[in-house]
Amino acid sequence: MAGTRPAAGGGRWVSVPPERIARWLAGFGERHGATTAERTAGGLLVAAADGATADCHLPFGWPAANHGTEPADALAAAAAYRWRVGVLLIRRGAHAVGVADGADLAASKVDTRYVQGRTAAGGWSQQRFARRRDKQTRESTDSAADHAARVLLPAVATLTGLVTGGDRAMTAAVLDDRRLAPLRELPRVELPDVPEPRHATLVEAARRYREVRILVREP
């Protein structure tokens, strides 16, 4: 199923799996009338007779090997391309790191660390709690950075990009690790609404990053 969410400034974002993109574009034409398509740097801009548009974004742009002639066919072929990417999913107390070859995991590491929840207590007790929680968060972040270095750095020369998801602040803290500078240079795709990082979450992320994101605006 295609995922849908509102877009800032109007319209909606639709996420479509690679295997469904050709049918989605055909359906767009059926709903809105004859279409024209213009290839863009990152995908395809489709305009319909009734004024509706579908701005299609490939996760990492057009692969160099793509030579399709018909725009819709070219987009479908590009969406099916087997990118090799790093995946880094982080939430407080849990992280998952992997290398995805297309939708398949070639390497992975998942770990959890206890981090206390918030408390309503005040005074010195609250301060001690906050220090303890900050220490646990740092240890969790350090562990995620260690696993990212162990799993992703040996493969970095083969990676097209980096897929991230979860807690943005913690992701930024992990990538600030000086060892991970090569990862910071990679093009990045961020997945919204990533649940608690587990192996199953990593498997799902390896599928989701390949979806074509389409900004649909209708008259």
84-207 CATH, one of 3.40.50.300, 3.30.420.60, 3.90.110.10, 3.40.30.10: 3.30.420.60
Q: What is the pLDDT of residues 66-106, one digit of tens each?
A: 666 788 899 999 999 999 999 999 998 899 999 999 999 99
Regarding pTM above 0.85, the answer is yes
Domain residues of the chain, as ranges? 3-82+211-217, 84-207
Rounded to an integer, what distance in angstroms lies between the CA atom of residue 75 and that of residue 73? 5
Rounded to an integer, what distance in angstroms lies between the CA atom of residue 31 and that of residue 61? 27
Three-state SS for 85? strand
Is 90 exceeded by the pLDDT of residue 138?
no
Q: What is the pLDDT of residues 106-119, one digit of tens each?
A: 999 999 864 445 55
Q: What is the pLDDT of residues 3-30, one digit of tens each?
A: 788 998 899 999 999 999 999 999 999 9
DSSP assignment of 68-83: -SSHHHHHHHHHT---
Rounded to an integer, what distance in angstroms lies between the CA atom of residue 44 and that of residue 156? 29
